[in-house]
Amino acid sequence: MKVGATHGSRPLGVAAIGYAFMGRAHSQAWRNVAAYFDVPAVEQRVLVGRDAEQVARAAARSGWAEAATDWREVIARDDVQIVDICAPGWLHAEIAVAALEAGKHVLVEKPLTNSIEEAEHMVAAARSARERGVRSMVGFNYRRVPALAHARRLVADGRLGTVRQVRASYLQDWLADDAAPMTWRLRKETAGSGALGDIASHAIDQIQFLLDDTVTEAAGRLHTFTAQRPGPDGPEDVTVDDAAWATLSLARGAVASVEVSRVALGRKNSLRIEVYGTAGALAFDLERLNELEFLDASAPATEAGFRRILVTEPDHPYVGAWWPQGHTIGWEHTFTHQIRDFLVAVRDGVAPSPSFEEGLQVQRVLAAIEESSATKPVRL
């Protein structure tokens, strides 16, 4: 049975592909979303992974009715209407296209995929499926941080005036130790890129999201600080970047700088964004995700300066579903918000955002940064 925008009164059956770090975050969101938001009923039908024993344990722990190892069999099932892809990027295109062609609504983790060619293939499949009422979305969950959603409102309402420049950095340190072991994230054939695709994708999406604008030019540099990592059979070459830098131009005239790293010692998960306009400015740091700094340039000089907004009021985006004022929420709530928005779009028969087209746009920016990094620097 192929499904479209509606599924009657029966719960929507969900299959998740992938059970590691991101699969756990998504599993918690599927388990909790209906307890806090008015959304269509869902059932966690099946969790899919390659290792039968490990995926069975993960399914039991995370609330899934059963586990499976063959995603192709799962997407053919009549009791599955939604496929949530949390597998590594090199698997996204094949699974997503097959699921869309089978009439399943699809949520896929960022980045959309590892290459522009695969992303274009996914966009074509999403457009075709959309004509049959089948929805698709890419998971840039930081759009669902209440403080960042509120920041977007402030920009849209003109509180910053004309935006001139943006600074975005995303710094982590989980690879700062040269002895950290080799993983699939450090091989180009599986990861596509390193810090660039992993975390710069978030920063780039946020810049375009906050400004409701599009990057039109990109110049960048990639760098690998540790060329080899310990593998199971000895040292292996690292074939992706540890850090990346970029300068971006946007369609309406703003200029943005981006810096990302997975070797920035002392930074655990610091996505920091600063937006400067002609009438105001704002700043955000993911390590303090319930706070937004805002400067109103119309205030008298004697009162000028950034003020702290605690984004926990019921009128702030998403927060009304949670706790009383002043009671903070956490990183994991962004995935619940993301699935809430996805389910509402499926219920209402509208296109969710970010779309696969938006994911492709981020992919184009990443590719432009990588291409520009190959040019030789000017020696002094």
Instruction: Confirm if 129 and 103 have CB atoms less than 8 A apart.
Output: yes
Coil, strand or helix: which one is 255? strand
In a domain, 370, yes or no: no
Q: Say which CATH number the domain at 204 has.
A: 3.30.360.10
Mean pLDDT over 247-262 rounds to: 98
Q: Say which CATH number the domain at 117 has.
A: 3.40.50.720
- 138 and 27 co-located in one domain: yes
User: Which pLDDT tens digit goes with each residue over 306-346?
Assistant: 999 999 999 999 999 999 999 999 999 999 999 999 999 99
In terms of residue numbers, what domain contains 37? 12-142+350-355
In a domain, 363, yes or no: no
- 113 and 215 co-located in one domain: no
Q: Is the pLDDT of residue 1 over 50?
A: no
User: Which pLDDT tens digit goes with each residue over 156-180?
Assistant: 999 999 999 999 999 999 999 999 9
Mean pLDDT over 106-132 rounds to: 97
- 185 and 204 co-located in one domain: yes
- 206 and 298 co-located in one domain: yes
- 133 and 225 co-located in one domain: no
Q: Is the pLDDT of residue 149 over 60?
A: yes
- 156 and 277 co-located in one domain: yes
Q: How many domains does the chain have?
A: 2
Identify residue 145 by its one-letter amino acid code: V
- 304 and 167 co-located in one domain: yes
Alpha-carbon distance values, 74 to 84, 207, 274 (Å):
12, 36, 43
CA distance 332 to 205: 19
In a domain, 371, yes or no: no
- 124 and 180 co-located in one domain: no
Confidence of residue 184 (pLDDT cuts 50, 70, 90): very high
- 156 and 135 co-located in one domain: no
Q: Is the pLDDT of residue 6 over 60?
A: no
DSSP readout, 272-329?
A: EEEEEESSEEEEEEGGGTTEEEEEETTS-GGG-S-EEEE--STTSTTGGGSSSTT---
- 59 and 137 co-located in one domain: yes
In a domain, 4, yes or no: no
- 161 and 272 co-located in one domain: yes
User: Which pLDDT tens digit goes with each residue over 38-66?
Assistant: 999 999 999 999 999 999 999 999 999 99
pLDDT for res 7? 52
Kindly tell me the burial class for residue 146, based on how many C-beta atoms sit within 10 Å of its own C-beta (0-12, 13-18, 19 or more): buried
pLDDT for res 72? 98
Q: Is the pLDDT of residue 8 over 90?
A: no
| Residue 66 CB partners (closer than 8 Å, separation 6+) | 45, 46, 47, 59
Q: Is the pLDDT of residue 281 over 60?
A: yes
- 151 and 190 co-located in one domain: yes
